[in-house]
A and B are shown apart, each in its own frame.
Chain A
Amino acid sequence: MAPEPLLRVHNLTKRFGQLVAVNNVSLEIAPGEIVGLIGPNGAGKTTLFNSIAGLYPPDAGRVTFRGCDTTGMLAHKMCKLGMSRTFQVVKAFDDLTVEEAVRVGAYNRHSEKEVAAKVEEVIAFCELTEIRHHRCGDLGLAPLRRVELARAVATEPVLLLLDEAGAGLTATELSGLMAIIRRLNQERGVTLCVVEHVMQLVMGICQRIIVLDAGEIIAEGSPAEISKNPNVIEAYLGKRAVL
Chain B
Amino acid sequence: MKALMFGWEFPPHILGGLGTASYGLTKGMSLQKDLEISFVIPKPHGDEDQSFLKIIGACYTPVVWRDVAPEKLKERFNSSMSPDEYYALRDHIYADFRYLYTNDLGCIEFSGRYPDNLLEEINNYSICAGVIARKEQFDVIHSHDWLTYPAGIHAKNVSGKPLVIHVHATDFDRSRGKVNPQVYSIEKNGMDHADHIICVSDLTRDTVIHKYNQSPAKVTTVHNAVDPVSKDIENIAPIRNTGDKIVTFLGRITMQKGPEYFVEAAAKVLEKTKHVQFVMAGSGDMTEAMIHLAAKRGISDRFHFTGFLKGKQVYEMLKSSDVYIMPSVSEPFGISPLEAMQVGVPTIISKQSGCAEILNNTIKIDYWDIEAMADAIYSIITYPAMYNFLKTEGKSEVDEIKWEYAGQKVRNIYDCVCGL
A binds B: no
Residue positions of B touching A, CB distance < 8 A: none
